[in-house]
C-alpha cells in the first residue's frame, strides 16, 4: 500500500521582514535548523504516514471541517520560543486572528480520529515554526534575536484556503507539495 507523510495547513507568503528574521536566525549558529521561508505554513493537523486509499475520506473531513468558514485575515506579530527560558527547542512567529483556524483544527482533530489519526495532546496554538534547536545549548544569540523581534509586526495576510500537503524529507530539508486545496467561504 502506497503512503506518504501528510499534514493539513494554510500556507503563508513570506515577506522581507520574515526573510530578514530567518537570515538573522541562520547566522546565529549551527545549533539551529532554520525553516526555508518559502515553505512556511501554519499546521492545522499533522497526519504523518498516510495511506493513499484513505485520501478521499480525508478530503471529505477537510471539506466538512472548513464548511461555513470564510476567508480570514491573519496578522503575524511577535516572535518567541518554546519553551521559554534558556532551553530553546522551537523559535516561532505569533499569529493573531486565528480563532477560525482553531475551529478548523478542532474539527479536523475530532473527525480524523475516526480514520485512525491520533488526537492532539495539546489544544491548537496558532504559530509559525521558524527554527528548531538541534541542541538547546549556546542559545544566547538566538535569545537576543527573538527579543529584538518580540513585538515585530511582520505582515497581515488573507487566508483563502486550507491545503492537504505531502511532505518528502530530504537531507537538504523537507519538500512540500499540495495534494489538494480547499477554498474557504465556498470558493
Q: Give the catalytic positions in this structure.
A: 41, 127
C-alpha cell at 80: 518567541
Say if residues 163 and 180 touch (Cβ distance below 8 Å): yes
Rounded Cα gap, residues 125 and 123, in angstroms:
6
- In 3D, which of 179, 178, 103, 85 has the Cα closest to residue 139? 85
Rounded Cα gap, residues 168 and 174, in angstroms:
6
Which are the contacts of 74, defined by CB distance < 8 A and separation ≥ 6? 12, 42, 95, 96, 97, 98, 101, 126, 156, 157, 158, 159
Widest distance between CA atoms in the chain: 48
Amino acid at each position: 500500500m502506497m503512503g506518504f507523510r501528510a499534514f493539513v495547513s494554510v500556507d503563508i507568503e513570506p515577506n522581507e521582514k520574515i526573510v530578514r528574521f530567518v537570515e538573522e536566525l541562520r547566522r546565529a549558529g549551527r545549533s539551529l535548523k532554520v525553516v526555508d521561508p518559502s515553505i512556511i505554513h501554519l499546521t492545522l493537523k499533522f497526519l504523518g504516514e498516510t495511506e493513499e486509499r484513505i485520501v478521499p475520506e480525508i478530503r471529505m473531513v477537510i471539506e466538512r471541517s472548513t464548511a461555513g468558514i470564510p476567508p480570514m485575515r491573519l496578522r503575524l506579530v511577535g516572535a518567541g520560543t518554546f519553551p521559554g527560558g534558556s532551553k530553546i527547542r522551537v523559535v516561532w512567529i505569533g499569529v493573531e486572528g486565528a480563532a477560525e483556524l482553531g475551529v478548523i483544527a478542532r474539527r479536523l482533530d475530532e473527525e480524523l480520529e475516526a480514520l485512525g489519526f491520533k488526537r492532539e495532546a495539546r489544544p491548537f496554538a496558532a504559530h509559525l515554526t521558524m527554527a528548531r534547536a538541534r541542541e538547546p545549548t549556546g542559545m544566547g544569540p538566538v535569545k537576543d534575536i527573538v527579543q529584538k523581534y518580540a513585538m515585530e509586526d511582520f505582515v497581515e495576510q488573507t487566508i483563502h484556503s486550507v491545503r492537504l500537503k505531502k511532505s518528502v524529507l530530504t537531507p537538504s530539508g523537507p519538500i512540500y507539495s499540495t495534494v489538494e486545496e480547499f477554498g474557504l467561504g465556498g470558493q
